[in-house]
A and B are shown apart, each in its own frame.
Chain A
């Protein structure tokens, strides 16, 4: 991670950070003074709808996982705002819920650089004409956020909403539901949230890392953002790295290679069985020449999702690990939608039978059949994300499956059959 400084547009007189050390440039636990010192002031009041076209030019996509173009969400919200003085103005929610056990980059960002997130929330609200602002995050982030909000009068209107510690709490409709009713369950979207979300107002839900990037793009512009990363996947992103070493948050350029992430994380390539990219709803890959990017052929590109990068060390059985994850995911079903409520435990059951070496060659086909049955049938992405994880495990650990069906396991942690 290098950090260089160069001159940026004369108009600001401030120096923009360059390279891939951006969001944490103000250091750890940055107060408002150091924040302004590092990034320069952001005149939020001068921000208007034109920020949306700047974001379009920047190519910023949501860093919460869905890789949806942030400007589109904002434009849709701004357009849904009915005319008239008494018409309800949009709600803007900064989503810092991080129920995914392997993800901690949003918590870290909120703890270390809360003012960047607040800048982004205020700027996004100005751009869409929003009036009610929320930060939805886990309770561990509250003290730092309360302190940061109290440091700046402009942020006083931001309300904190508590995100429960469960896997699906970060889903956009679950976030809206949690703020509205206190129960973080996804709901069936009769209309898009950008048309009708919290209290039937147009609602914009943006991940907190997205907001931090917006704060910087609002300062330094789209071209600056595009100076890192690739044309398809510009800018940087935070990733939560876990595995054999200590947990760490890295900021990497778009389209970074898996090898480089391993290098930056100081993980020896020889000590890697596979990497889970994107989290429990993500995909297992073996670290050949994959790149981490929002789009591209699946043979060479793996989507970063919510930025989870979990390394399975050599000697660990990917099937047992995945079976454990799917057990967890089945338990995290909100039990609202039948195919998820019954399909996920059924898939977890079959995968566990494979993982613990039941020698029945029909098990793989049964698992694939269940995946096809459940796919696309739920109010949220939970079943589909789980199916994607299982599919990648069947693919990446195919040799392991053959071994298991023969009653052996190629790894050392495999329990006795």
Chain B
């Protein structure tokens, strides 16, 4: 089952850390907020190659606006680690 990176837009402040860690997945819009490069833009599919960087982004997001949804270990809807 595939994992997705969920952006809580009510928390996101567009600080840009996730877009640096996941440049293939996320770009930035005019105001600095992340934009998925393809597919769903709130629940973004994470490829195998991006799994580690996605976990890192979740850990480092200064606003706790990211979480992993669905599939795989360590993804019960809670953010991974701290």
Contacts and interface: CB of A to CB of B under 8 A. Distances in A.
Direct contact of A and B (CB under 8 A): yes
A235 to B, nearest CB: 32
B42 to A, nearest CB: 6
B49 interface: no
B11 A373 contact: no
B9 A378 contact: yes
Nearest to B14: A338
Contact of A188 (B11, B29, B77): B11
A373 B29 contact: yes
A346 B30 contact: yes
Contacts of B77: 190-191
B12 A338 contact: yes
Interface of A (DSSP majority class): loop
A414 interface: no
B70 to A, nearest CB: 12
A40 interface: no
Interface in A349-383: 373-379
A375 B41 CA distance: 8
B80 to A, nearest CB: 15
Contacts of A339: 9, 29, 31, 33
Interface residues of A, number: 20
B10 A377 contact: no
Contacts of B52: none
A373 B33 CA distance: 10
A300 B2 CA distance: 37
Interface string B11-42: 11110000000000000011111010000111
15 contacts: A188-B8, A188-B9, A190-B77, A191-B77, A336-B9, A336-B10, A337-B12, A338-B13, A339-B9, A339-B29, A339-B31, A339-B33, A343-B29, A376-B41, A376-B42
Interface of B: 7-14, 29-33, 35, 40-42, 77
Given A338-B32, A379-B10, 10 more contacts: A190-B77, A191-B77, A337-B9, A338-B33, A339-B9, A339-B31, A339-B33, A343-B29, A373-B35, A379-B8
